[in-house]
Amino acid sequence: AEAWQGQGDIYTVMQRPENALLAYQKALESMKDPSADVLVKLGTAYVQTGKPDKGTEAFNRALAAKAGHPDALLALESVWKRE
């Protein structure tokens, strides 16, 4: 899971959200319990690839995994402001 997350982070820095999206999905698939941090990163990649609804879903899953997660809350606010 950590390797996939690291790969997603690298793709994010390289501004390749499509690749980051796939890496974060793989990271989550390899985890027993979903990580709120990875879910936020996945949601951000969805938003960057023009899929804000899927991004919102990932941010909400992050909040379910860790109530009050600050990055998830900020990301949701950002999506709401865009709409």
pLDDT digits (tens, 9 = 90+) for 26-82: 999 999 999 999 999 999 999 999 999 999 999 999 999 999 999 999 999 999 998
pTM score, whole prediction? 0.94
CB-count burial class (<10 Å; 0-12, 13-18, 19+) for 49 = middle
Place of tokens 């950590």: 2
Q: What pLDDT score was predicted for residue 65?
A: 97
Q: How confident is the model at residue 83 (pLDDT cuts 50, 70, 90)?
A: confident
